[in-house]
Structure 1
Amino acid sequence: MQEIARGAKAAKRPEGSRPKWVKTFLRYRWLYLFMVPGLLYYIIFHYVPMFGLVVAFQDYNLMKGVWGSPWVGFDNFRTVFSSPDFLVLMKNTIILSVYRIVFNMFPDLILALMLNEIRVRWFKKWIQTLTYGPHFLSWIIVYGIVFSFFAPGSGLITNFIRDLGWTPIDVLTSSEWFRTLLLSTDIWKSTGYGAIIYLAALAGINNELYESAAIDGAGRWRQMWHITLPGVRDVFILLIILRLGNILDAGFEQVYIFLNVRVYDVGDILDTWIFRRGIEQLDFSVPAAVGVFKSIIGFVLVILANKLAKRFGGSGIW
């Protein structure tokens, strides 16, 4: 009887009658299973919190919550754009972000090219360790190092300049030097780690191209210009697109730690203003409106940069 029942079921569902998507799912079921933790992470920590965007359109009150807070429409956005500090904040944020994009990407690429040319393995590993190390230091520690060198009246370099008979420069509280200080410390901290992406791209270049170029008489500089740089072009463009999407994120942690009252005119950015207004003053609606504004600008810039990259021969993001 069991054999007859199995035969009847097989007759009702002939082999190959399953939909194509079912076959694909069953074939790659273990790969889909491995995707579940990553999907859950993005759903829980990236998509579910997007519901909080409604706070930007409310006069949010902690006691009333999201459902009980009154709806105010675009009043929070009007408050942001009419603020006398908004233009200064936007100017400082864009300047610092552009500085990071322009001056931070080339040291990463140059370091990767230099490491790629080193043939002595122990020396290459030593340089990599030396340049990667600062990335794992927190900005608090970096500020402590900088303070020990440039502290007014007691810094190592400050005292050295004074001993030479020169007038010491108060780097930490000088509006002229503050952006330079931020940029230089960021380059020192992130260059080694940023070079890893370019080293991975360089590892993917076919060695036969270099062998063919050497046979044709091309030297190391010619090989770098015609093979190495084109080999990392798409990665370079991709990183530019991603950084343009975060152009209104000027490095909150670093700026907040280095910031002081005397350099607000050149160092105060949108994120530090949001922090002071949201955390210190417990006003969450206006900072949420700034977050929505930043997201829209970043989204538009990513779309435009991706189209420009494809127009000029790059692969883009999609």
Structure 2
Amino acid sequence: MATCEYTYKAGEFDVSPQMKEDFARDGFVIVRNLLDAEEVEKLRQTVGGADGGMLSNAFESKDDTGRLVKVCLWKHPGNDVTGIIARSRKVAGTFEKLLGGEVYQYHAKVNIKKPQEGGAFVWHQDYGYWYNNGLLFPDMGTVFIAMDAADKQNGCLQVMRGSHRAGRIDHKRVGGQTGADPDRVQHLEKVLEVVHAELEAGDAIFFHSNVLHRSDANKSDRMRWGYLIAYNRATNDPVYEHYNASYTPLHMVDDSEIKRCTNMTDFSGKGFTDPADNKNISGVKVRGH
């Protein structure tokens, strides 16, 4: 990986001018060890604990080959471990500095690709469909936090370096997903580098809402879990209500609150998404793992 990698160290980490420059140029930065092993374990227990955890609200979405990805999607952070992570300074605070102002959670989700059967995601920009939700500007971004090792074999995230500078690309339905215009993507692939964001558990990639990204199917014998949090600038409030969140103050917390949080079961106020209410996905509700 080129110059866009950083490492989180408690008490020392901050968004440097170099990191801002990298984000502006490439559209993404990688932060190693954003969550430590204890924090990752708390996250995993909250999402898929013995009682089913948050996955009781999950649904399955098919890619264009019929492979499945399990998704759990919600609006607001709440006060459980996932919410405290989303409201922490090392996550939300990093995006505030990268995007240049106050942010709030637009939505969050967990994607799970099972061994040998987890599906792919086609090339897309998040703003390619958020644009249609009344968001006037692409002052938005997403952080993907690896909950276990993500590599080429189990379908890690791929990003097209600098593709955010191409602006918003028209999107259309591709299988059960919404994807960027394939012809446009093909031309951009000829001039831009595709980076495989290979991450260890706890590593994260922060990327701009206009960055083209995708992932392959999981053809390994390992799971691939990812926690994704999307943020919007407070000044970019949607002009009409829709299935993701309008401006809601984030109430940022210190990073130390992640380990202090003991709430792994109370998900009140999160606003889980039913796929029937989201025009950009095609899914069926499932239960358990």
Q: Normalising by structure 2, what TM-score?
A: 0.24
> Rg larger in 1 or in 2?
1
Q: Give the structure with the larger strand fraction.
A: 2
TM-score by length of 1: 0.22
Higher helix share: 1
Higher relative contact order (CA 8 A, sep 6+): 2
